Amino acid sequence: MSGLRVLVAIALAHLRVRTRQTLVAALGVTIGVGIFLATSGMMIGSQSDFVRTLVNSAPHIIVKDEHRGASPQPLRAAFPSAAIAIRGVRPRDEVRGLKDWPGMLADARALPGAIAAPSLSGAISLGFAGRTEPAALNGVDPQIEGRLVDIEETLTGGQLSDLEQRPDGIIITRPMADRLGANLGDTLVVSSPAGVLQRMRILALIRPDALTGFYAGDNTAYGLLRTAQVLFARPNVVNQIHIKVGDPQAAEALAGRLEERWGYKWESWQERSRDILGLLVARTIITYAIISAVLLVATFGVYTGVSNSVNDKRRDIAILRAMGFTRPDVQGIFLMEGMVVGVVGAIGGFAVGSALIGALAAAPISINGQVTHLPIDRSLTQYGIAGGVCIVAALVAAWLPARKAAQVDPVDILRGAA
């Protein structure tokens, strides 16, 4: 629009002479934006922290010795257009485990930024002092597994790598140790479904940790891969490959691609957490809807301010129209008034929001006796969303009175004034 500057100058002049109303309207927006930032910072921050925990507490992709569906019958593949009836199908007695796992491992390690390790998992029973408890043993390569998941921070009394020094070592959870009445350094009797019995010494305990988020459940246990192979009587067999990729968000796509190639189930962290991620999306929508509504209410002040301005300036509107200003010019002047209030309010809101976020982030909170701080999202995205919503809301609020201003008939005003 040519002559835009003159419209801005008139809008600013209108706002200048109504300083108090302008400031009150801007203050409403400031408070709205401040609350928006603090709330979204907390909600999105806690959500991001939760997702980070989800991502890091388990491998990004787990390859399992399972298939998503039954294998197609070779007969159907041979005669695709024939009418075939197959009766009395008996599944082949297959040995569980990943076939050609070294090939899969090589493929997994070839993914961008990936590390991968084989593992053998299975059910065991732990015995100590006459008590027996079931558990799930993960036979792993400690060097690599420690880099795959955030387990080290939750270990007390030892490290995952201690398993390398003591092939008869086992790591169990603190609640499991409590149930057995065992402690660090005690020797457990471990038995497997294969009938193998082995004495294993507790090298470290996994502590349920709300802060790091890693905790796979009370019954989880870790041992050396080759120890697990002996225990399950399955030498050189692995039934899982654990993979951490460079970009966790790409895990699902990568898993899908490799599953197509290898046939086994390549399960990404997104697939494992589908329900939770769905809930988080719903939670995000609800969060933004509520705080946007707060901001919308805050912009009512803009509507009132611009509406009053239009009523006060009807004679000015008439003379501007008589001078040669168009209806869109007049509408533009009052829209700009709303936008200026929105922008000033948003800038103030950024300052208030930053201060609130700073205060919330600094406030200590206690979880399970451990002092920590609220996870707050301080990303520029939140400021961008708050600023964008605020300016759009201010423009919408100013639009109605601005439209009314553009419809003012100068003749009616001039005739009335004459």
Partner 1 sequence: MSARLEAEHVTRTLPAPDNATLVRDASLCVGAGEFVAIQGPSGCGKSSLLYLLGLLDRPTTGIVRIDGVDTSQLSEDARTRLRLERIGFVFQFHFLLPELTALENIELPMRRLAVLSREAIAARARGLLDALGLRHEADKRPDRMSGGERQRIAVARALANDPSIILSDEPTGNLDSANTRLVVEEFRRLAHEQGRAVACVTHDAEVAAAADRRIRMLDGRIITDKG
Please say whether the beta carbons of 212 and 153 come within 8 A. yes
What's the closest the beta carbon of residue 31 comes to partner 1, in angstroms? 28
Of the two residues 147 and 327, which places its CB atom closer to partner 1 in the complex?
327
| Binding interface with partner 1 (CB under 8 A) | 2-3, 5-6, 9-10, 13-14, 16-17, 315-316, 318-327, 329, 410-411, 414-415, 417-418
Of the two residues 177 and 330, which places its CB atom closer to partner 1 in the complex?
330
What's the closest the beta carbon of residue 400 comes to partner 1, in angstroms? 22
What's the closest the beta carbon of residue 269 comes to partner 1, in angstroms? 59
What's the closest the beta carbon of residue 337 comes to partner 1, in angstroms? 12
Please say whether the beta carbons of 101 and 225 come within 8 A. no
Nearest to 108 by CA among 258, 272, 246: 258
Return the SS3 of 117: strand
Name residues whose C-beta falls within 8 Å of residue 159's C-beta, 6 or more positions apart in sequence: 146, 152, 204
d(CA 47, CA 40): 10
Please say whether the beta carbons of 137 and 122 come within 8 A. yes
Start-end of H helices in 299-326: 300-312, 314-323
Of the two residues 18 and 60, which places its CB atom closer to partner 1 in the complex?
18
Of the two residues 9 and 194, which places its CB atom closer to partner 1 in the complex?
9
What's the closest the beta carbon of residue 3 comes to partner 1, in angstroms? 4
Residues in the chain: 418
d(CA 14, CA 310): 10
What's the closest the beta carbon of residue 8 comes to partner 1, in angstroms? 10
Of the two residues 286 and 417, which places its CB atom closer to partner 1 in the complex?
417
Tokens of 161: 């790598």
What's the closest the beta carbon of residue 417 comes to partner 1, in angstroms? 5
d(CA 389, CA 42): 18
DSSP category for residue 418: -
Of the two residues 16 and 92, which places its CB atom closer to partner 1 in the complex?
16
Please say whether the beta carbons of 120 and 232 come within 8 A. yes
Of the two residues 133 and 329, which places its CB atom closer to partner 1 in the complex?
329
d(CA 394, CA 388): 10
Return the SS3 of 33: helix
Determine which helix (DSSP H) or strand (DSSP E) holds 223, and give its type and residue range: strand 220-224
What's the closest the beta carbon of residue 293 comes to partner 1, in angstroms? 35
Of the two residues 11 and 188, which places its CB atom closer to partner 1 in the complex?
11
Determine which helix (DSSP H) or strand (DSSP E) holds 386, and give its type and residue range: helix 380-406
